[in-house]
Structure 1
Amino acid sequence: MGEQGNGFNTRMLLRELPFVGLGILILTPFLYGSLGTSGRFWGLLIFSGFLLFLSFIDIRCGMIFNKFLLPMAMTGLLMDAACLLVDPLYGCLAGIMGGGLLLLIRWGSNGGMGGGDVKLGAVLGIWLGPDKLAVALFLAFILGAAAGVLLVLSRGTTRLWMPFGPFLSMGGWLAALYGSRLIQIYEEMIWMN
């Protein structure tokens, strides 16, 4: 089924843009406080915009469309080529790892994870590199599981559906901003034992 047949149209895009703009306004101080106006700041601001937009679309349509993932992947590769975020080789390898891992989960879950989530995992790898991708996926699964438990407890049934893309996006954003520090804390905990 084509993307138009799955509930996406141009009016929906126009409805989501104000929310994305508002989200960018809210997130900018966090990015600026951590990065100043470096090239990395601008790269992560663009990354944040993509993640917000994909999250709103996934919540609204239940899908993450290729027409938005491809520009995000290409922009990530350009950022990698400019060495603003990740070494290009590491970005490509992490893209394969992220997409591959989520593809295995998709196969094992009998459709519990969508193809857009798999592709978003690959795109997150391009933007984040292997270390921060691991943090992003860990956070996404923890956040998604917590939300799932809360949803089951509040609704009293396990027959619920929720999109995973917003959790991948939250995990990716948190990993981009705080991933190095989270890895450092984890390593310190391991060496203490």
Structure 2
Amino acid sequence: AFCKTSISFRYPAVEILSGIFACFFFSQFGLSVVFFKLTYLALLMLVLSFIDFQKHLIPNRIVFFSFPFAILFSVLEGKPSIIDSILGFLIGGLGLWAVWYIGHLIYKRDGIGGGDIKLAALLGVFIGWKLLLLTVFTSFILISAIGWFGIITRRLSRNSEIPLAPFLTVAIWINVFYGLDIIRWYIAFIT
């Protein structure tokens, strides 16, 4: 009150959204491991999304600090299984590293940031490899749509950097709640 500096929009936005997520998860899952896991994941992704949006950076210390929690939640809940979490870690980390490497070879610049690679590995531990693949795919669709819209409206250029964490955040919630339905629909569609 006495520092005479304005408060960033980010702080009340994170606090309000965190409260909404926590209330929603509590109404759905009660005071359970799932509640704590999803609330932690929501808070993590909100914070990282705002930081990535403003600074184009995903801080290592936040991601690394969250790995033990991701492992603990997977062990306590049993979902995903330890094997699925390990595969999620490997697919998330190596898969996005491959995107970075290919972008670097073809375009001579980073196609994706190092923080995004580590975040994908972390999300793989939280949600397992199947939902991770769907989440990354969904986020790439969303980011492509926004990118093309930005190019068409001349608000972005082909070289504009778009932060990935906000799109991963939207995609993760679509897929945590509807991912299995999307997978079933897709399998039925192609068979």
- Consecutive unaligned residues of structure 2, counting only runs of 5 or more, are 1-7, 105-109
1:27 corresponds to which residue?
Answer: 21
Deviation per residue, 1:108-152 (Å, 9 max, x gap): 112021000111110110011011111101111101101101111
| Paired residues for 1:120-139 under 5 Å | 120-139=119-138
State whether structure 2 residue 73 is matched by structure 1 residue 70: no
Find 1:39's aligned residue among 20, 33, 56.
33
State whether structure 2 residue 135 is matched by structure 1 residue 141: no
Give the total of aligned pairs: 178
Find 1:79's aligned residue among 73, 95, 111.
73
- Consecutive unaligned residues of structure 1, counting only runs of 5 or more, are 1-13
State whether structure 2 residue 104 is matched by structure 1 residue 105: no
SS in 2 for 1:118: helix
How many angstroms apart in 1 are the aligned matches of 2:20 and 2:65?
23
C-alpha spacing 1:28/1:178, structure 2 compared with 1 (3 Å): farther
1:158 corresponds to which residue?
Answer: 158
C-alpha spacing 1:82/1:125, structure 2 compared with 1 (3 Å): same
Could you list the structure 1 runs, at least 4 aligned residues long, displaced by more than 6 angstroms after superposition. Answer: none
Percent same amino acid among aligned pairs?
28
**TM-score (norm. length: structure 1):** 0.83
**TM-score (norm. length: structure 2):** 0.84
2:117 corresponds to which residue?
Answer: 118
Q: Does the 8 Å contact 1:43/1:85 carry over to 2? A: no
How many angstroms apart in 1 are the aligned matches of 2:152 and 2:22?
34
Q: Does the 8 Å contact 1:69/1:119 carry over to 2? A: yes
Which structure has the greater CA radius of gyration? 2
C-alpha spacing 1:28/1:182, structure 2 compared with 1 (3 Å): farther
Deviation at 1:158, TM superposition (A): 2.3
Deviation at 1:169, TM superposition (A): 2.2
Amino acid at match of 1:128: I
Deviation at 1:83, TM superposition (A): 2.5
